[in-house]
Amino acid sequence: MSAGFDLQATTRRGAGLDRLGVLLAAIVAAGLALQPFCLFRANRIVAAKPVGLLSALPPLESQIVLGLIVVASVLLLLRTPSPLRLSVSVLTLVLLAFAIGRAGVYLTPSSNTYARVAPGGGFWFAAFAFAIALADAAVRLRMPPLGRLALLALIGGALWLFLWSGACDALSILREYANRADVFWREARVHLFLAAGSLAAAAVVGIPLGILCVRVRPLRAALLNSLNILQTIPSMALFGLLIAPLAWIGAHVPGASAIGIAGIGIAPAFVALFAYSLLPMVSNTVAGLESVPVQARDAARGMGMTARQRFMEIELPLAFPVILTGIRIVLVQNLGLAVLAGLIGGGGFGTFVFQGISQTATDLVLLGALPTVALAFAAAIVLDAAVEMTRPMTSASARKSKSLFERHDE
């Protein structure tokens, strides 16, 4: 009996630790202990010198920052309330951002325009851990869609104010941005055009094809199998396959070259992204329409509703959340795949990524990679919230179809 009591007491004591928090605290500790907080280069091309957190800042500041990170890690380690975990994660991310910006100022001589300071592995490990903690806390709080959108807007606004304040201007990635600001925003517009434009084209083509697959059963297997085969082609191979036909069209079709159709550039990148977008659009449209209850269709038909009325008032509203999920998948996918357009002269953030790879310039790679990740992350949150906000509309359509079904039975 005593042994059983001791076992229960031990179990209760162990329940004070958060499993995810243990992992995240271990990541922070390993990152700061085994990796440099930042990297210092005397100029852009020499090898980097690793600098630990305690050496990256003035002594008192470094001790304060380290102490606050330790306290925050302990709070993650314990099973603390979700609002506290969310607040701690946000504040620690802000602290890390100010610390790395301060390190750039502290390590770079004021008259030296050639020295470069970049975030090191310790910074990235800690930032990753607290970003995961922030996302986990938001999930545990079960924030409503508008709450998640407000949190995203708050984080985005804080990031913009932080960058606008110039607190991180001494970091090498922002020096790269300062040297390429005009080019950066031009490539940002191209990247968004490739991702959103191919999505719009895929929606215009894919949603009607999905509706057609539901209505014409023999077409479904052939079309979906063809799109599945297309999806298995590696992206670089597809870009290569498109070069020859698009070059021929640009050379021989009147007016084609005037609108930008050529073997390299935006055209093959756009067509490839459009092709990869079709399968999620078609399959989600089919899945959404197939999920509409048969009773709802029968009841609407029995009440004398026309085919158009049944589709617009019953079937489409019930299927819309699934279709919107397909749009989310495509947008996040295209924001990532659009980076590859830089390899064939298509522009976008991939231009910086591949320039940086060819020049062994990590900061140039990050100048293209970080905005891409941020856009994909924001798009996923916004469209996830949109999917949830369409559920009341779906519920209203379901109640309407149920009412029609009951009246039809009577």
> pLDDT tens, 257-312?
776 777 777 888 898 999 999 999 999 999 998 888 877 777 777 777 887 888 88
pLDDT at 14: 44
Statement: residue 158 has pLDDT above 80: yes
Query: Which tops the pLDDT comparison, 11 or 117?
Result: 117
**What is the tally of structural domains in the chain?**
2
Boundary residue ending a domain (149, 172, 195)? 172
pLDDT band at 12 (very low <50, low <70, confident <90, very high): very low
| 134 within some domain | yes
| 213 within some domain | yes
Return the structure tokens found at 118: 């970049």
Statement: residue 145 has pLDDT above 50: yes
Are 147 and 197 contained in the same domain?
no
Are 341 and 368 contained in the same domain?
yes
Alpha carbon of residue 316 to chain centroid = 27
Kindly report which listed range (248-252, 272-276, 379-383, 402-406) carries the lowest average pLDDT score. Answer: 402-406
405/410 Cα distance (integer angstroms): 9
- Segment 73-98 shows an average pLDDT of 93
pTM of the model: 0.83
101/189 Cα distance (integer angstroms): 28
Q: How many CB atoms lie within 10 A of CB 293?
A: 14
In terms of residues, how long is the chain?
410
| 9 within some domain | no
For 51-61, the pLDDT digits (tens) are 999 999 999 99
pLDDT at 297: 77
Are 142 and 194 contained in the same domain?
no
| 10 within some domain | no
pLDDT at 11: 39
Are 94 and 220 contained in the same domain?
no
387/60 Cα distance (integer angstroms): 48
Are 281 and 396 contained in the same domain?
yes
Boundary residue ending a domain (106, 138, 172)? 172
Are 208 and 253 contained in the same domain?
yes
Distances (CA, A) of 156 to 162, 175, 258, 328, 335: 10, 21, 38, 20, 18
Contacts of 230 by beta carbon, 8 Å cutoff, 6+ apart: 275, 276, 278, 279
* Closest of 403, 215, 405, 398 to residue 314, by C-alpha: 398
38/50 Cα distance (integer angstroms): 6
pLDDT at 48: 83
| 40 within some domain | yes
Domain that holds residue 194: 181-409
| 3 within some domain | no
pLDDT at 2: 45
332/277 Cα distance (integer angstroms): 11
Statement: residue 214 has pLDDT above 50: yes
Residues facing 51 on adjacent strands: 38
Whether the CB-CB separation of 288 and 358 falls below 8 Å is answered with: no
- Segment 364-369 shows an average pLDDT of 91
Are 238 and 351 contained in the same domain?
yes
Helix (H) or strand (E) holding 178: helix 172-179
pLDDT at 392: 59
Statement: residue 9 has pLDDT above 50: no
- Segment 97-102 shows an average pLDDT of 92
Contacts of 368 by beta carbon, 8 Å cutoff, 6+ apart: 187, 339, 342, 349, 350, 351, 352, 353, 356
Q: Determine phi and psi for 141, rounding to 5 degrees.
A: -75, -15
* Closest of 125, 171, 150 to residue 29, by C-alpha: 125
Are 335 and 397 contained in the same domain?
yes
| 6 within some domain | no
37/163 Cα distance (integer angstroms): 20
Kindly report which listed range (135-149, 156-170, 178-192, 294-308) carries the lowest average pLDDT score. Answer: 294-308
Are 248 and 381 contained in the same domain?
yes
298/401 Cα distance (integer angstroms): 9
| 5 within some domain | no
Statement: residue 408 has pLDDT above 70: no
pLDDT at 400: 52
Are 209 and 306 contained in the same domain?
yes
28/35 Cα distance (integer angstroms): 10
